[in-house]
Amino acid sequence: MSRPQSRIEERWNSVTHGGMAILLLLTMPLVLMHVIRQAGKMALRDGLGVGIFILCLILMFSSSALYHGVPASSKYKRILNRLDHMSIFFAIAGSYTPLVLSVIGGRAGWIILAVEWSLVLVGVIFKSLSFKKNLLSWIFSISLYLAMGWAIVVCFPLFAARAHPACIWLVLAGGIFYTVGIIFFALEKRYAHVVWHFFVNAGAISHFIAIVFFLN
């Protein structure tokens, strides 16, 4: 996002993701109670996976809200921009965590989960050391996000065989929302970034429903 955002755009950017962070924070206790009750003997496994998933989403949405909420003149703006981008890596790996723990399992699942969280480290280091915004840096970041997000295709037959049908379609829908949203992220048109935020919200909501209500 190289085009400077207007004050009203930044308000919308902050509100669209700040609202999601607040909703997730407020509903997290109820969600975990529901998941644990439904899981029975697997309560610890499912509760841990879903808890990590929600915490990672809260991190992503709150980081985004803070970044867009501070004035452009703030000395913290650049730091918050890095944290905003870093948090996306956590959100992606966090989304995989309950799917691997509760659905995919096995060697393939654990390999994917290890790769996902290893790439979080790679992404954080890259964002920490990337001092200039340029096309190459942007392409690398987007490629890493997409590679992490669509890594599930590697074990999709296994996932499809074990997951609830609604979970499968919602996970795919979420991935499509995130991916299509990148088009608006790349556009330098007025309010395009706000539209990107709505696509992110739609992707997160799809995955939230899949994981909270159709994990087993």
Domains of the chain, start order: 7-213 (1.20.1070)
- pLDDT of the residue at 131: 66
pLDDT tens-place string over residues 84-103: 999 999 999 999 999 999 99
User: Pick from 194, 167, 204: which is nearest to 23 by CA?
Assistant: 204
pLDDT at 210 over 60: yes
Least confident of 2-6, 22-26, 27-31, 145-149: 2-6
Please report, in angstroms and rounded to a whole number, the separation of the first and last CA atoms in the chain: 39
Range list of H helices, the chain:
7-39, 43-69, 77-99, 106-129, 135-149, 156-162, 165-186, 192-213
pLDDT tens-place string over residues 147-162: 999 999 999 999 999 9
| Chain-centre distance for alpha carbon 116 | 12
* Residue range 160-169: mean pLDDT, rounded: 97
120, two tokens:
């979080």
pLDDT at 1 over 60: no
Q: Distance between CA 171 and CA 145 in Å, rounded?
A: 16
- pLDDT of the residue at 2: 60
Q: Distance between CA 152 and CA 195 in Å, rounded?
A: 26
Are the CB atoms for 141 and 185 separated by under 8 Å?
no
201, two tokens:
């919200």
Main-chain dihedrals φ then ψ at residue 214, nearest 5 degrees: -130, 25
Are the CB atoms for 190 and 9 separated by under 8 Å?
yes
- pLDDT of the residue at 24: 98
Average pLDDT, the chain: 95
Are the CB atoms for 46 and 98 separated by under 8 Å?
yes
